[in-house]
Amino acid sequence: MDLQSAEQRVKELQNQLSQYGYEYYVLDNPSVPDAEYDRLMQELLKLEEEFPELKTPDSPSQRVGGAVLDMFEKVEHTIPMLSLGNAFNEQDLRDFDARIRKAVGENVSYVCELKIDGLAVSLRYEDGLFAQGSTRGDGTIGEDITANIRTIQSVPLRLKEPISIEVRGEAYMPKRSFEALNKARQERGEELFANPRNAAAGSLRQLDPKIAASRKLDTFLYNIGNPEVIDVAAHSEGLDYLDRLGFKTNKERRKCSTIEDVLKYIKEWTEKRPQLPYEIDGIVIKLDSLEQQAALGTTAKSPRWAIAYKFPAEEVVTTLLDIELSVGRTGVITPTAILEPVKVAGTTVQRASLHNEDLIREKDIKIGDKVVVKKAGDIIPEVVNVLADQRTGEEREFHMPTHCPECESELVRLEGEVALRCINPKCPAQIREGLIHFVSRDAMNIDGLGEKVISQLFAEQLISDVADIYKLTYEQLISLERMGAKSVSNLLEAIEASKANSLEKLVFGLGIRLVGAKAAKTLAQQFGSMDRLAAASKDDLTAINEIGDKMADSIVNYFEMEEAQELIAELKAAGVNMDYKGAKPVSAEESDSVFAGKTVVLTGKLEQLSRNEAKEKIEALGGNVAGSVSKKTHLVVAGADAGSKLTKAQELGIEIWDEEKLLEELNK
């Protein structure tokens, strides 16, 4: 066969196989037998091998390919992937409905969708071709799992329109795939996955795409990340558009015009839930109108126009065998129930937090009791109550200790607190937990330094404080169990890279009491350097809106400690950055910028800046960046493929800039 004939046949086969795959994996309505599909695939593979120049990224043959990865690259989400607020009962839903109607009026409708128990993913397409797949991560930074997403047959490699679009959805493992996987693992003597969600998450984080492909995952897409690129006025219209593009969406969705209709839908699927071929853990309710969604906006964590109803937690009875104590990084002593293993909501539970001594007294918990256990939000095990009528008389009272279980120091209860604390700064447990906190994602974010490795390093006395992390050598690490040459090199590179982090990461990582990630960023922005922050007085600190008396006292006390001063000196000597690297926000009154006091909306694709970069720069000059266009908008910056936001700005007569004009003003 000559090249021209081969090219024609390859295109025919690619189109045929793509259509057959769509019918099988998306529509669940195959039009040809499996044997015919396999025959055509073999023909395509043979032709692409013979004429490699005809192999294209969107070919059905390219579902699995490429080398095994060393690690996952980070991906910054241009539009954050927010989580949803939760509702646990009918009253929560009625309150949600009342808030919606109070904000936007009585003319509302909702879209109800099954809440798939999987892993949230984002898929990006350029000119209709699949370009990148990523995990949600912390909502702002995820991981690039493109190679693994390509292995999911229901994910189209080429859309039915040449559009550039970002879509969000859930990757999940169907029940039959989960059962087959665990059966195979059992036969090989491997540890079984606890539930389909964990199995799906583990599969998508495999460095070898062939392993991900063997797990037979699936997807449901439920949202368009950049809706301005298409002309729709409602969420339901967006879902219909995803269908037309070739995505798999969940067909059990329903539009509801009243909260009563929503409650009927929830009742129906609570009963039908066990019949589904995949796991769900609730129902998602979204306001349908995109204009009303924009009017309501979002909080820092979740949209105000959507809520997730969580199914009531499964409750089971087991025996409380013992109560164990742990010491946290701030010295708080936490009692934990050790339970006779029991299956709850798909996983085996052996431990449940009891929080503090007051809760144990309030629930009258004794060692040896029969207790009712559930998972709060289907995630965190907790003891609901004791079955006192089943007591035999052999149960034992539990008493909190007077001394720390780790270092034997006397415990104290600070004024106004229910928790007992160890206040010994040299307590090994607190040091170990502090080290784990320092390397965590929201702090210094050192890849490869998880809880197990930190505990191992601490036990081997290779680290005793966070400064020791920066003194670790190849020779020390290679001698550790389960640490190969590649792992050690990657870890040392990650430690070195963390030195360049902006100041707020370090401030949060130090674990100053009451200082969370948000407060750490505020402090870094306001003071600019570690030296200025360390020298700040209580008055300096409380002059900042977000900093109250208690937090200010905690910060001052921390920097007055000789140990803290020595630690910071060691970190400086190791080359850890001590300055804030982000843009410092200014108020509209302080700024003479054209953005001062203005509300700006960004739409379309910017070529030279990411959305987050543009947002930070505008806010640093006293502006406010909003997500939707309204009469209160002063300025719209329109990039390539700007859609409905640009149209609305034109209708309202709002000033419109292109990216070139934006950069010109930012550079001033």
Question: Average pLDDT over the chain, rounded to whole?
Answer: 89
Two tokens at 59?
Answer: 């070919």
Percent of residues, the chain, with pLDDT higher than 90:
51
Alpha-carbon distance of 133 to 121, in angstroms, equals 7
How far, CA to CA in Å, does 589 sit from each of 449, 594, 597, 615, 624? 44, 12, 8, 19, 13
Identical fold between 86-310 and 428-498? no
* pLDDT (tens digit per residue) in 596-616: 888 898 888 788 887 777 887
3-state SS, one letter per residue, for 427-438: CHHHHHHHHHHH
Question: Which pLDDT band holds residue 68 (cuts at 50, 70, 90)?
Answer: low
| Main-chain dihedrals φ then ψ at residue 441, nearest 5 degrees | -55, -45
pLDDT at site 559 = 94
Q: Say if residues 146 and 87 touch (Cβ distance below 8 Å).
A: no
Q: Do the beta carbons of residue 498 and residue 472 sit within 8 Å? A: no
Distances (CA, A) of 206 to 68, 166, 213: 9, 23, 10
The residues with which 308 forms a beta bridge, in sequence order, are 86, 284
Determine the Cα–Cα distance for residues 195 and 173; give it in Å rounded to an integer: 9
Grade residue 378 by pLDDT with cuts at 50, 70 and 90: low
**Segment 641-666 mean pLDDT:** 85
pLDDT-based confidence at 98, cuts 50/70/90?
Answer: very high
Looking from the CA of 431 toward its CB, the CA atoms found within 13 Å total 22
Do residues 166 and 122 make contact, with C-beta atoms less than 8 angstroms apart? yes
pLDDT (0 to 100) of residue 70: 65
Give the domain ranges of the chain: 3-62, 86-310, 315-409, 428-498, 503-573, 599-667
Residue 220 pLDDT grade (very low, low, confident, very high; cuts 50, 70, 90): very high
- pLDDT tier, 648 (very low <50, low <70, confident <90, very high otherwise): confident
- Nearest Cα neighbor of 163 from 55, 247, 249 is 247
Distance in angstroms (rounded) separating the CA atoms of residues 273 and 268: 9
SS3 for 638?
strand
| CA atoms in the 13 A half-sphere facing the CB of 71 | 13
pLDDT at residue 426 tops 70: yes
d(CA 184, CA 168): 31
The CATH number of domain 3-62, selected from 1.10.287.610, 3.30.2130.10, 1.10.3720.10, 1.10.1840.10: 1.10.287.610
Per DSSP, the three-state class of 627 is coil
For the structural domain made of 315-409, what CATH number should be given? Answer: 2.40.50.140
- The third-level CATH classification (topology) of the domain covering 599-667 is Rossmann fold (3.40.50)
Considering 74, 115, 210, 272, which one is annotated as catalytic?
A: 115
Taking the model in full, what pTM does it have? 0.55
8 A C-beta contact, residue 320 and residue 365: yes
For residue 627, CA distances in Å to 308, 601, 637, 653 come to: 22, 6, 12, 18
- Topology annotation, domain 503-573: DNA polymerase; domain 1 (1.10.150)
Answer yes or no: is pLDDT of 28 > 80. no
Classify residue 141 by burial, with Cβ atoms within 10 Å: 0-12, 13-18, 19+: middle
**Who wins on pLDDT, 12 or 546?**
12
The one-letter amino acid code at 226 reads: N
pLDDT digits 0-9 by tens, 75-92? 888 888 988 988 989 999
**Which amino acid is located at 428 in the chain?**
P
Q: Which range, of 137-146, 478-487, 587-596, averages the lowest pLDDT?
A: 587-596
Predicted local distance difference test score (pLDDT) of residue 69: 62
Confidence of residue 325 (pLDDT cuts 50, 70, 90): very high
CATH of domain 86-310: 3.30.470.30
How many Å apart are CA 98 and CA 322, to the nearest integer?
Answer: 45
For 67, which DSSP code?
A: P
Task: Give me the phi and psi of 644, to 5 degrees please.
Answer: -65, -30
| pLDDT score of 327 more than 70 | yes
The helix/strand count (H/E) of the chain reads as: 24, 22
- Euclidean distance between the first and final Cα of the chain, in Å? 62
pLDDT at 329 over 70: yes
Angle at 112 (CA atoms; ends 173, 300), nearest 5 degrees: 85
Q: In this predicted model, what pLDDT tens digit does every residue of 286-306 receive, in sequence order?
A: 999 999 999 999 887 789 999
pLDDT tens digits along 114-151? 999 999 999 999 999 999 999 988 888 889 999 999 99
For residue 521, what are its two tokens?
Answer: 């960023």
Query: In this predicted structure, what is the pLDDT of residue 71?
Result: 72
Calculate the dihedral angle through the C-alpha atoms of 483, 488, 491, 497, rounding to the nearest 10 degrees: 180
Residue 152 DSSP SS3: coil
Gap between the Cα atoms of 31 and 37, Å rounded: 10
Give the bridge partners for 334, in sequence order: 326
Which pLDDT does position 644 carry in this prediction? Answer: 74
- 668 counts as catalytic: no
The residues facing 120 across adjacent strands are 170
Cα dihedral across residues 162, 166, 170, 172: positive or negative = positive
Tokens in use for 560? 């007055």
Longest dimension (CA), the chain: 88
| H or E segment and range at residue 33 | none
Strand-pair partners of 446: none
Task: Report the candidate in 628, 627, 629, 613 with the shortest Cα–Cα distance to residue 662.
Answer: 613
- pLDDT tens digit sequence for 616-645: 788 778 787 877 788 888 999 988 777 778
Amino acid at 208: D
Residue 518 CB: number of other CB atoms within 10 A? 13
Mention the CATH class of domain 428-498: mainly alpha
Within 13 Å, how many C-alpha atoms sit on residue 542's CB side?
11
- The pLDDT score that the predictor gives to residue 583 is 66
Per-residue pLDDT reduced to its tens digit, 499-527? 999 999 999 999 998 898 878 988 998 89
Structure tokens, 46: 């043979």
Q: How far apart are CA 182 and CA 176, in angstroms?
A: 10
Please tell me the predicted confidence (pLDDT) of residue 586: 59
CB 14 within 8 A of CB 63: no
